Amino acid sequence: MTLFRDFRKSGYMENREAVLALAALAQPTRLEAFRTLVRHEPEGLAAGDLARLLEVPQNTLSAHLAILSRARLVSSERHSRSIVYRANLDEFRDVALFLLRDCCGGRPEVCNPVVRHCNPAARRNERSEAVPDHIYNVLFLCTGNSARSILAESILRKDGAGRFRAFSAGSTPKGAVHPLALRTLQSMDYPVDGMRAKSWLEFAAADAPVMDFVFTVCDNAAGEACPVWPGHPTTAHWGIEDPAAVEGSELEKQAAFVTAFRYLKYRIDAFVNLPLSSIDRLSLGTRLREIGRSDGATSNRGDVA
């Protein structure tokens, strides 16, 4: 517990500074802005790019960034005609250390679980060492298997590691995965290795992995006659808008993929936190359909990706 002894000796931050930082983060747009900047370290983001990614007016975002700057959670630097913002990770570390400085009255047997929970590497190791009762196979379907289903496969591959195996396919697969889908996943630190556009018939074969869940993420795929899946998996429709259909600048197209990523990640986060081992099939189907009706849900049947 040397780490916690260091916290108590260092006196990194005063109460007043901690309150200012925590108050700055206690608002949804500011919290999402800070988290987005963290994801884009160390390059940072121009204010206009950040506003487009968060889908908020630039003048509104400027006011929020000013509050984060006063709390020393973000810093800014002018690059040509743009102001680039970056997350001040050292300051946020000091906030975390302030909160943990007197952790558990110096009792390491109590503090250790807190440290493990705050350490992503430790959590991944714990998940890899655990032996789950059942590993669920999940297939995400769309028409082209080039954008939305690829995003979903990658998100579940990382966020469901140890409990889920993720797959994706399309009814009429395109020749290649959309490059902006790959770029978005890489920028969010999600896996892209092995991603390819493939037919859903691969997963209807007798020797294919038996699926526990099949989710359609575009309305075209939901409206088509699916193959007969071995094992009779639970199905649901999670349709969202096609980011590949967005026209405009390269930045606007990239923002559409980031938005699709966020919608899918929200659905997948809700899914992996369901009590799958204890919920009955009827209730499970209801919960999965409710997830599919969350923000970003579509009823447009013109989707292709």
- Cα separation, 67 vs 54, in Å, equals 17
Q: Are residues 57 and 156 in the same domain?
A: no
Q: Are residues 192 and 60 in the same domain?
A: no
Task: Residue 183: give its domain's CATH number.
Answer: 3.40.50.2300
Q: Are residues 206 and 278 in the same domain?
A: yes
Is residue 21's pLDDT more than 80?
A: yes
Best-predicted range by mean pLDDT among 70-79, 90-99, 109-118?
A: 70-79
The 8-class DSSP code of residue 210 comes to: P
Q: Are residues 284 and 147 in the same domain?
A: yes
Q: What are phi and psi of 88, to 5 degrees?
A: -90, 90
| Nearest alpha carbon to residue 145 among 199, 182, 192 | 199
What are 259-282's pLDDT values in tens digits? 999 999 999 999 999 988 888 888
Q: Are residues 143 and 288 in the same domain?
A: yes
Task: Residue 17: give its domain's CATH number.
Answer: 1.10.10.10
120, part of any domain: no
- Cα separation, 92 vs 70, in Å, equals 13
Return the ∠ at Cα 287 (arms to 32 and 146), rounded to 5°. 60
With beta carbons less than 8 A apart as the criterion, state whether 254 and 180 touch: yes
Alpha carbon 210 to its chain centroid, in Å, reads 26
The number of domains in the chain is 2
| Nearest alpha carbon to residue 169 among 112, 97, 217 | 217
Q: Are residues 253 and 140 in the same domain?
A: yes
Return the ∠ at Cα 294 (arms to 293 and 296), rounded to 5°. 100
Q: Are residues 77 and 152 in the same domain?
A: no
Is residue 61's pLDDT more than 80?
A: yes
184: domain range? 136-292
302, part of any domain: no
| Residue showing tokens 């916690």 | 4
Q: Are residues 36 and 183 in the same domain?
A: no
| Residue showing tokens 């929970």 | 117
Q: Are residues 149 and 264 in the same domain?
A: yes
Higher pLDDT, residue 127 or 184? 184
Alpha carbon 179 to its chain centroid, in Å, reads 18
| Residue showing tokens 């959670």 | 73
